[in-house]
Amino acid sequence: MKYEIVHTNTFHYENDVDQSMNHIRLKPSMDECQRLLSYQIDVIPASMTKESFDLWGNTVESFLIPQKHNSLEVKTTSIVSIQRAPFIQRIEYSSEMKSIFHSKLFFEHYLPFLRENVYTYLSQEQIDEVLQAIGDIENPVQFSLELMSYLHSVFTYDTESTNVNTNAQEAFSLKKGVCQDYTHVMLSVLRKKGIPARYVSGYLYVGENSGFIGDSASHAWVEVMVPGIGWIGLDPTNNVEALENHIRIGTGRDYTDVSPLQGTYRGGGGQHTLDVKVSVKKLDYL
């Protein structure tokens, strides 16, 4: 599959901003299944960007607007090719895999993706509610699949019930939310079960008849570490393995590690607004 993604973020400030420093994570990643064929960023007011990598290997582009401005537009255009084949259902939980999964070395290596934090914390009562519904499943792959299906069945996708600051405990209490909330809740349970799991940010190609749901701006899902296999993507919002419709940008412990826009500005007292437009178009040519 080949896609063109156009992502435009426009800030409007109530009063002039003297200057601003900005960091964005909008450049799609590359791996053995996803290739970034082209990428362009346009900033208004015009500014040169400097590219670096964060602790998790995500691309960060930074730029300074030194002059006064009352608006800021960041537009990225990407063309991405994806080829992923489903195989998680065929993974067997072998004795070798079990040995690695329970080893001290495996635990220490993936410790950042086993710890809970403010965004991914659930109370013990909430964890118990999930575990009682799913049952005692030793196979981490099967447990992850059952958890994904459970969350998809008990949660209602609702763009009005939560916001970007909602944590897993709050979302679980509501049993409502968007892809970010589904993902944070799933991360919490997986980590409590001792399964390394990370947050993935990206885009979802919904298409005309796919039946997928997701944010109009961006999408989020989970990746679990399977010993001897690697990171496997699971989308609890849609109860599917993350395959050719899922376009990865970055990964981290939670949303804060991969938030698309971060910045500081001087001046501009008052309110500001953000308008986000995203277009994900499937390309017919190879």
Q: Do domains 2-82+259-282 and 88-258 have the same CATH topology?
A: no
The owner of tokens 């296999």 is 229
* Paired tokens of 21: 């420093």
Domain 88-258: state its class.
alpha beta
**pLDDT, tens digit only, all 286 positions of the chain:** 899 999 999 999 888 889 999 999 999 999 989 999 999 999 999 999 999 999 999 999 999 999 999 999 999 999 999 998 777 777 888 899 999 999 999 999 999 999 999 999 999 999 999 999 999 898 999 999 999 999 999 999 999 999 999 999 999 999 999 999 999 999 999 999 999 999 999 999 987 656 688 766 789 999 999 988 899 999 999 999 999 999 999 999 999 999 999 988 887 666 788 899 999 999 975 5
* Residues shown for the chain: 286
Domain chopping of the chain, boundaries: 2-82+259-282, 88-258
pLDDT value at residue 173: 97
Topology classification of domain 2-82+259-282? Immunoglobulin-like (2.60.40)
**Which of 186, 188, 191, 194 shows the shortest CA–CA distance to 101?**
194
pTM equals 0.94
β 219-226/272-282 pair status: unpaired
* Paired tokens of 140: 């981490």
